[in-house]
Copies of this chain bind each other. A is one copy, B any other.
């Protein structure tokens, strides 16, 4: 029994750079020999509290806990929970604390996982809160870069697509800024540019080199990491704008022909059509491996929060 302070993961900033690097290193070790960890969390229970649907994140966490020998309780739809009886998040989490050892929460409202962490007696992981944060996607992305590029430092990282609303992108950019990134390239239409405030923070606080362009073609040759994002219909005020823009930031074989041979193409998935299917067989396409690495980093995270790492 330690009296150590309970740790949560609400946003990537909750972890120091040292802690992030330890997590990534543990993720690599698990990747190399997952069977060594198959009983690391035996007897432990993860609660998956999904107030909005998310196959991918939910399954990734469930797989991570099962691969550690633990088990799962949870819901994937707030309508089949006590929420419909008017229970507060504070009460829900206090009761879940009586059942589980660690919980992941996805919620449509920004700040809900933070609120939960204030009342919880078990570690809370933010599984995505509105347009705000998605820190375990960021961890997944870091492990992917480390795995395929050997280092997070000294890379030219390009983000393409919806840079305005994508919480995945904001979370990752903020975190990469804490490393020694060589250059950020932002590829997006005028309407979906990275928010001004975030750009200012990057330049003023982190002194990163930033470059904004409108097309992939003009920068493709210098990119080390190409991070693609989905352009979501629901982000647009009208159908016409969506139709005009959605295809502009699609990559296909032709567009990446001049790219470096060791460039990697990442995507948080689900993909709709922003990456042509023909790209899937290109060795530079690592987005499905990225999904797999998401399991390993979540295994590392759960171990850390349960203090078995």
Contact = CB atoms under 8 A, between A and B. Distances in A.
Interface of A: 35, 38, 43, 45, 47, 50, 53-56, 59-60, 62-63, 66-67, 71, 73, 75-77, 79-87, 90-92, 94-100, 230, 269-272, 277, 288-289, 291-292, 294-295
Contacts of A92: 55, 270
A80 to B, nearest CB: 4
Contact of A59 (B90, B96, B289): B96
16 contacts: A35-B43, A53-B79, A54-B82, A55-B81, A59-B96, A59-B99, A60-B99, A63-B73, A75-B76, A76-B80, A77-B80, A82-B270, A85-B272, A87-B270, A97-B288, A98-B295
Nearest to A34: B43
A27 to B, nearest CB: 14
Contact of A86 (B272, B291, B294): B272
A49 to B, nearest CB: 9
Contacts of A47: 59
A80 B48 CA distance: 14
A59 B38 CA distance: 24
A95 B268 CA distance: 11
Given A53-B79, A66-B73, A85-B270, 13 more contacts: A35-B43, A47-B59, A53-B81, A55-B83, A60-B99, A63-B100, A87-B271, A90-B277, A91-B270, A95-B269, A97-B288, A98-B289, A99-B292
A45 B65 CA distance: 11
Contacts of A288: 94-95, 97-98
A100 B82 CA distance: 26
Contacts of A76: 75, 80
Nearest to A289: B98
A6 B269 CA distance: 25
Top 3 nearest A-B pairs (CB, nearest first) are A98-B292, A87-B270, A55-B81
Contacts of A55: 75, 80-83, 92
